[in-house]
Amino acid sequence: MSIIKSEDSSKWINALVAIAALLSGFVVTRFANQLGVWFDLEAKIPNFSLVSQGLGFVMGVVVFVAVLKNIKSSTYLQDVYNELLKVVWPAKDATLKMTMGLVVALVVVAGIFVFVDFIFKKILSFVY
């Protein structure tokens, strides 16, 4: 059973673009705040934190609108969504078995490395 359906494409694509817009707005806000610290803009610009947050908000809105209004990006995101519908996800039992097998294999390999490291330490302790 899949959590995504073909009729929900616009909802998922809009959510993805909104998350990207929020992330870009957050990055711009943090960058503006860092510039404020570096160049002491808090003292030079009144309400600098409000200005930096407004700049981040505007950048987020610009990214959201630019991605959704661009025909190439909208087509690309729709194609990606259609390919995602074709993915056959493994069952819960298969995923659990593969995960447990991977954990056991990692423990065995880590044990081998610990053993080899211990042997080399003992050999080097006799040499030095």
Residue 18 contacts by C-beta under 8 Å, 6 or more apart in sequence? Answer: 64
Q: Say what the pTM is.
A: 0.69
Q: For residues 42 and 36, what is the distance between their CA atoms, to the nearest angstrom?
A: 6
Query: What is the per-residue pLDDT across 111-123, written as a single tens digit (0 to 9) for each?
Result: 999 999 999 999 9
Number of domains composing the chain:
2
Is residue 71 located within the same domain as residue 106?
no
Is residue 61 located within the same domain as residue 9?
yes
What band does 98 get if pLDDT is binned at 50, 70 and 90?
Answer: very high
Is residue 110 located within the same domain as residue 58?
no
